[in-house]
Structure 1
């Protein structure tokens, strides 16, 4: 294996010298579902943690040596908001797809005795050039990223999870947004099953279009990878630049066993290996979860190997690795919920805390990015829209939507640059899997500026303030010690929400809108 890697490196470097600076680069966005920033053997914290020891991701390690690791990458705490921001460049407060989508005209929030939730866009984003009146009800029309890439000469491939628009709308189908190929993408935000013998699920969460794998026993992650690589053959043969959106369903629940890798997390007697973070043996869910992570990593390795066999293509291909939200920290997880799964961060998917929004991110850009480096500049999920378009050389595009994202091409080209990036989150919703406000769940808005993370919980109008550089676990609420800073951040958060025309929840009993964050009483 080492010899093969050395040969790949030599061929890659040789090809790099043959790539014309005028050529449009190929772009692969490798997006993982529900992957926390520590669910990898690549450390994204200032030092390795026990979770980095649990997971086996050699191909992420390989990619990190090829490119730059971003330690301050963020997304929304829930899937659909992140994916809609990625496709549109809009902050979630502006596109208003603030919770996860599925069925037409159906809100996915849980009921509250206190809050009346605002009428958010539960039918998702919709392509402005294809959507009709039916599609645009409780939806946001956009000029989509793949459409703009397509107009700039790219062959566009969607593979895996979409989760952009509700079932029965044109936004359900990735082809409507400008993808030339759609493999397995629809309204569903998770697979009914990863197992071929279960036909990759049934009903609302069935992953369609992969029937040829039912009899082969191919795990879903593997089947999607095989199909993605097949799809690349066409643009490569035609010498056409391609955009591959490799959007895995992994590592979202259900935690079906990927038997290619489950044995790596078992002892000879079949029980789980001892885990330093849990101070216990892994249970079946954690064994299967770790195997899902390794299967995802194997997919990344297959893509890198495919490019390695085509060194001229590899030398002109940008690969971006990212997750859509924090790792799951409740439900099937083992250990202390909201503590162990994303340690040292607090919370997880759905939570306002770092564990819900901090993501693993790596960028490889041959000839531009120096391998094995680290960038501590902050990035937010809507930044990917203008960044990818700038990478593609698209300069004169127009969109119907206001783009909130800021390109990070400049800090890729010059890593000495420092950017001041303030991140805004808006979730005026109630997620179905937890309502534990103590752990950052419930209806909230938040701002991250400099070292400080301010959270605002709409139901009780509570503000919390943390210094995430000194306190990544967000255990020390500074609200009483630094009230002036909290008030200033609350003003900035309120101004950003108003600029986005963000909607607010109200009180059920009175119908009164809940005051903005800057009207909260510090207590």
Structure 2
């Protein structure tokens, strides 16, 4: 009966426009009167589709045998794996899309943010890049070079949820309102600010903070109690998250925990709890360190799952696991670059599958069938309406117009998601070079994926199920399909007023994909 009540709440119609574990025994917790499910969104930074011992492909690869993620395996046994979950190829666009329900082309935070009014892009000899929203998003009106939004956390908070942010934010540039999670709808902020990577993962190094001196922007804030201590950032964040959940359990509200790890983003520093075993496996030091970042993240996942079990919260908590973009493969890594996400091509920053396909798992006891898989593709902006529907939020309004579609039918097995296309837009230079990296836009339509390059006007076409590695461009053999998908992609980008680079040779905007055929 309990699960039937939870499911009925979740299926309400959705409308609207636009270092020790700290726990409290369950019998000391005040009773919760709101029976809607608690929600944990566990987001990993820069985790590739293959950065796990849990294979999301039809077969195991050497990467699945290299990494050790027993808690991802545990979660999958209790929930549903999604084998074609997509995000943007870069962090900030994904996080903005997740918390707004908007496609990156619409919100225009199309690359990573950090310093106010400042872009990281270097001048290019072929293109002039567009004036994108380098300051990110915020909820206040009138902030230059931002998109004003109503955040997911704000909607949940306004509808009775206790909202907790833990870890990486990266919603807005430094010295803008969006840099502060407390101004983005969260009741609690643990270590979140403008930067997208930590200056250091080590408590012994104060997580990059400089006592008595000027700390770098990437220095992790708010964890002073761990300064000078032998503790890794992933562990400190987990301890603080559990303390925040202890406090949440004394309220009469369900909680929303956004557990957003800085791992496994650079700097690739070894978590010494796990380092030696990967060296003993024969991994180069940088790869051994990378593997420890993964395992430390996985330990955090397991610790939170244990916390839910110990406090009788598991049955009424939805746990969603996701990554923000593909695994790093363009620099820093050992071995030949761009192959670290095999069988996927390329990695972070790329329009290819290695840059945008993510490991995703959802557990919802009594609602999501255990040990199941879903091959239906979905996009990061779909999390916004889905989480609100899970929360039973029936009516809400947002400042922004949204693109996401709820994937609740894929969770419940009741009803169907409509057939749809999904889109990517990155009209920039990321910095590193490699396959699929550059100013691009893309569409996934059924089995087909079209990638368009703004600098050259080149179109590439891949059949993803038949060619998951995107090694065989079949655009020349399928001109009618290329034209059809180019029209779809162009029409969508026009409809959201997407930005384009200017070609220096003509001093005109680069053509849309359907204007070069």
The reply to whether TM is greater than 0.5 is yes
d(CA) in 1 for partners of 2:386 and 2:492?
22
How big is the shift at 1:411? 1.6
Matched with 1:374 is 373
How big is the shift at 1:172? 0.7
- Give 5+ residue unaligned stretches, structure 1: 1-13, 268-272, 274-280
Preserved contact between residue 152 and residue 384 of structure 2 (Cα < 8 Å): yes
d(CA) in 1 for partners of 2:91 and 2:480?
34
User: Number of paired residues?
Assistant: 486
Matched with 2:433 is 435
Matched with 1:227 is 240
Residue aligned with 1:287, SS: helix
d(CA) in 2 for partners of 1:194 and 1:447?
37
Alignment RMSD, CA only?
1.6
Residue aligned with 1:27, SS: strand
Bigger mean CA deviation after superposition, 316-325 or 39-48:
39-48
Bigger mean CA deviation after superposition, 475-484 or 415-424:
415-424
Preserved contact between residue 6 and residue 36 of structure 2 (Cα < 8 Å): no
Preserved contact between residue 15 and residue 315 of structure 1 (Cα < 8 Å): no
The answer to whether structure 1 residue 65 and structure 2 residue 90 are counterparts is: no
- Give 5+ residue unaligned stretches, structure 2: 10-34, 209-214
Matched with 1:214 is 227
Residue aligned with 1:402, SS: coil
The answer to whether structure 1 residue 495 and structure 2 residue 491 are counterparts is: yes
How big is the shift at 1:215? 2.6
How big is the shift at 1:334? 1.5
How big is the shift at 1:377? 1.0
The answer to whether structure 1 residue 282 and structure 2 residue 287 are counterparts is: no
Matched with 2:503 is 507
Matched with 2:136 is 124
Equivalent residue runs for 1:119-518 within 5 Å: 119-127=131-139, 131-133=140-142, 136-201=143-208, 202-267=215-280, 273=281, 281-311=282-312, 313-339=313-339, 341-414=340-413, 417=416, 419-432=418-431, 434-436=432-434, 439-518=435-514
Counterparts in 2 of 1:502 and 1:17: CA distance versus 1, 3 Å: closer
- Please give the per-residue CA displacement for 1:466-486, whole angstroms capped at 9, x wherever unaligned: 111011111101011111111
Bigger mean CA deviation after superposition, 36-45 or 236-245:
236-245
Residue aligned with 1:338, SS: coil
Matched with 2:31 is none
d(CA) in 2 for partners of 1:65 and 1:415?
21
Residue aligned with 2:85, SS: strand
How big is the shift at 1:431? 0.4
- Please give the per-residue CA displacement for 1:265-318, whole angstroms capped at 9, x wherever unaligned: 122xxxxx2xxxxxxx4211100000000000000000000001012x211000
Matched with 2:102 is 90
TM-score (norm 1): 0.91
Preserved contact between residue 6 and residue 37 of structure 2 (Cα < 8 Å): no
Counterparts in 2 of 1:337 and 1:402: CA distance versus 1, 3 Å: same
Residue aligned with 1:163, SS: coil
d(CA) in 1 for partners of 2:379 and 2:414?
17
Preserved contact between residue 7 and residue 367 of structure 2 (Cα < 8 Å): no
How big is the shift at 1:86? 0.6
Residue aligned with 1:30, SS: strand
Residue aligned with 1:138, SS: coil
